[in-house]
Amino acid sequence: DVKKETLGFQTEAKQLLHLMIHSLYSNREIFLRELISNASDAIDKLRFAALSDDSLLEGQGDYRIRVDVDQEAGTLTISDNGVGMSREEAVEHLGTIAKSGTAAFLENLTGDQQKDSQLIGQFGVGFYSAFIVADRVEVHTRRAGEPADAGVLWESHGESEFSVEPRARAERGTSITLYLKPDCTEYADDFRVRSVIKKYSDHISVPVEMLKPATPAAEGEEEEQPAAPEYEAVNEATALWTRPRNEVSDDEYKAFYSHVSHDFDEPLTWSHNKVEGKLEYTSLLYLPKRAPFDMWNRDMARGLKLYVQRTFIMDEAEQFLPLYLRFVKGVVDSNDLPLNVSREILQQEGSVESMRGALTKRVLDMLAKLAKKGGEDYAAFWKEFGQVLKEGPAEDFANKEKIAKLLRFASTHTDKPEQDQSLEDYVSRMAEGQEKIYYVVAENFNTAKNSPHLEVFRKKGIEVLLLSDRVDDWLMNHLGEFDGKPLQDVARGALDLASESEEEKAAQEQLQKDSEGLVERLAKVLEAQVSEVRATARLTDSAACLVVGDHDMGAQMRRILEAAGQ
Ligand code: ADP
Ligand code: MG
């Protein structure tokens, strides 16, 4: 039987710890939010497990988080009666980082304190934030349903190692004691700690309690035996999404966002809705300001936090939103689903399908509203998530039109690389008689902008969208048209530019005749390389260009397949 054991932090954990301590110092009060958030998660997990096995509650079903301060000792202790941890779990969860994208995140760090603190925030601060204010942390924990002597004491000075040893614990759950650094003793002050809890943890649905201030015995009253210490809730302790919209402040919405998203930044915007009728549910959906590191990683954590009648069921419920909206964070609380719902059941439930449809519309509406508002916000959204949204028309045919309105492109109208022109903008500028929306696809913006295919369009003053993202070819193929106007790749097939006058047509015919001989000779020479040679009016300065047949694969698509070894 193992007594005390000293173990090293995983390399990534060590790096993160070190960075956290040095980069987040000016924002150090958030450690309390993180530890209370973990306590609340632990209680949610137990509440859920107890649905199928109520012996786990050990006869004590009043959930609470307690925060105790000891000014003399310079300590702060956060205790919860949640699910607790076994020895193995403590070693695993508090000694390693299991998150996907960790390596990529660490590579992105620059050493610039300001930038790095942003990045760490996006990555998720978590348990290690305790070491911003403490030079020693003790975690005393026991898993719910285990005997008292299964308790463990985890301890670390936040450098390279930690220790674990058996330590009996009568109560289930976890107590985390921070031995505060000399310049952080404000967090042993009752008043200061209360105000930080109010600020960050008001929305936590379990009570966060602190000792009631002692009331001095009134005069003439007999000195009584000191009573058992009494605790009182410091936070509001109702689930934020259950409250009416007009009673929740922006600051509360923002604080709740950091709880559900682990994001350090504020959200870009949110949408809070209660739906009644055939289906009853409440949703609170947020758009983040920044893309997570692992947005292009197949196992990126995505989905909503699912509750059924206020009871937490699971994180990352993926069934409620399509993949192209995977950046959305938030909560959905259903009144219709059974409490014992599993991921498998979610996939078959008809009501989930309806909710998914409605929530998708909500997000698209939220985006449309943001776009309509104008200004920086939509541009910021597009820069971070535009490429993901471009997956939409292929995945979600039913909402193709709505998504199309949200797309932004670079265009010859501005000739700038910023993707800030909508298809509606383009259509509003179309000349009389122009029937198609023209675009060119290239490897990068500059190549697109300087494409010889554009010469005739520039000459005639016809706008062309300049596309250079990997998904663009694919996107345009799925989109097909917008507002009844076909989308036309200028590098494909023959061009029949509308505004051609009789004169131009005659000139074109003449050109065809004059070139017959040359075309024939070229076709012979290039037989193995091209399928056809045509005389064209589409070039004004260049002598020749390559075009792709109407039904051939786009040049960009071909490159993607080539890269994939096809
Ligand atoms: P996250 O909360 O994003 O998972 P943290 O760094 O905050 O990351 O916590 C790491 C893990 O440690 C948690 O996922 C959980 O398994 C465990 N943990 C932390 N605090 C507690 C607690 N109070 N009770 C039980 N487990 C906890
Ligand atoms: Mg956490």
Residue 435 CB neighbours (<10 A): 12
Q: Residues 24, 30: contact at Cβ < 8 Å?
A: yes
- Residue 34 in marked binding region: yes
Q: In the predicted model, what is the mean pLDDT of the chain?
A: 88
Signed CA dihedral, 252, 253, 256, 262: sign only? negative
In Å, how far from its chain's centre is CA 91?
Answer: 28
Nearest ligand 1 atom to alpha carbon 35:
20
Going from the Cα of 125 to the center of ligand 1, the distance in angstroms, rounded, reads: 11
- CA trace torsion 532, 534, 538, 543 (10° rounding): 90
Going from the Cα of 286 to the center of ligand 1, the distance in angstroms, rounded, reads: 23
Q: What ipTM does this complex have? A: 0.99
Q: Read off the tokens for 511.
A: 């050109």
Count helices and strands in the chain by DSSP H and E runs: 19, 19
Q: Residues 79, 174: contact at Cβ < 8 Å?
A: yes
**Alpha carbon nearest to ligand 1 atom 14, residue:** 93
Rounded mean pLDDT, 526-533? 76
Report the greatest alpha carbon distance in the chain: 121
Identify the nearest ligand to the CA of 39 by its number.
1
Identify the nearest ligand to the CA of 45 by its number.
1
CA atoms of 318 and 224, how far apart (whole Å): 57
What confidence score (pLDDT) does residue 555 get? 61
Percent of the chain predicted with pLDDT > 90: 61
pLDDT reading at 303 higher than 80 = yes
- Residue 85 in marked binding region: yes
What is the Cα Rg of the chain in Å?
31
What are the tens digits of pLDDT across the range 177-214? 999 999 999 999 999 999 999 888 888 889 999 999 87
Residue 46 CB neighbours (<10 A): 24
More confidently predicted of 564 and 307: 307
Identify the nearest ligand to the CA of 94 by its number.
1
- The DSSP annotation for 209-256 comes to EEEPPPPPPPTTSPPPPPPPP-EEE-S--S-GGGS-GGGS-HHHHHHH
Percent of the chain predicted with pLDDT > 70: 90
- CA trace torsion 523, 525, 531, 535 (10° rounding): -30
pLDDT reading at 255 higher than 80 = yes
What confidence score (pLDDT) does residue 97 get? 85
- Residue 219 in marked binding region: no
Instruction: Give bridge partners of residue 486 from the DSSP assignment.
Output: 481
**Alpha carbon nearest to ligand 1 atom 1, residue:** 126
**Alpha carbon nearest to ligand 1 atom 3, residue:** 126
- The kind and range of the H/E element at 180 are strand 173-180
CA atoms of 550 and 532, how far apart (whole Å): 13
**Alpha carbon nearest to ligand 1 atom 4, residue:** 126
- Residue 101 in marked binding region: yes
Q: Read off the tokens for 452.
A: 């010889």
Which range among 26-30, 363-367, 541-545 shows the weakest confidence by mean pLDDT?
541-545
Going from the Cα of 55 to the center of ligand 1, the distance in angstroms, rounded, reads: 23
Q: Read off the tokens for 221.
A: 């009253």
More confidently predicted of 201 and 168: 168
Nearest ligand 1 atom to alpha carbon 80:
23
Going from the Cα of 38 to the center of ligand 2, the distance in angstroms, rounded, reads: 5
pTM over 0.95: no
What confidence score (pLDDT) does residue 400 get? 96
pLDDT grade for 564, boundaries at 50, 70 and 90 = low
| CA distances (Å), origin 404, targets 391, 435, 482, 531 | 11, 18, 7, 34
Q: Residues 142, 173: contact at Cβ < 8 Å?
A: yes
Closest CA to 67 of 158, 180, 177: 177
Nearest ligand 1 atom to alpha carbon 128:
6
CA angle centred on 300, ends 352 and 111, rounded to 5°: 145
Going from the Cα of 260 to the center of ligand 2, the distance in angstroms, rounded, reads: 10
For a mutational test of ligand 1's pocket, the pick from 31, 35, 38, 81, i.e. the residue with the most ligand atoms closer than 8 A to its C-beta, is 38
174: helix, strand or coil: strand
Residue 215 CB neighbours (<10 A): 6
269: helix, strand or coil: strand
- The kind and range of the H/E element at 152 are strand 152-156
Phi-psi bin for 469: left (phi > 0), alpha (psi -120 to 50), beta? Answer: beta
Q: Read off the amino acid at residue 487.
A: L
Tell me the residue ranges of DSSP E strands in 408-557.
Answer: 410-411, 437-441, 464-467, 481-482, 485-489
Nearest ligand 1 atom to alpha carbon 176:
23
**Alpha carbon nearest to ligand 1 atom 15, residue:** 93
CA atoms of 118 and 114, how far apart (whole Å): 7
Pocket of ligand 1 (CB under 6 A): 34, 38-39, 41-42, 80, 82-85, 93-94, 124, 126-127, 174, 262
Start-to-end C-alpha separation, the chain = 56
pLDDT reading at 114 higher than 60 = yes
Which range among 69-83, 280-294, 335-349, 443-457 shows the weakest confidence by mean pLDDT?
335-349
- Residue 31 in marked binding region: no
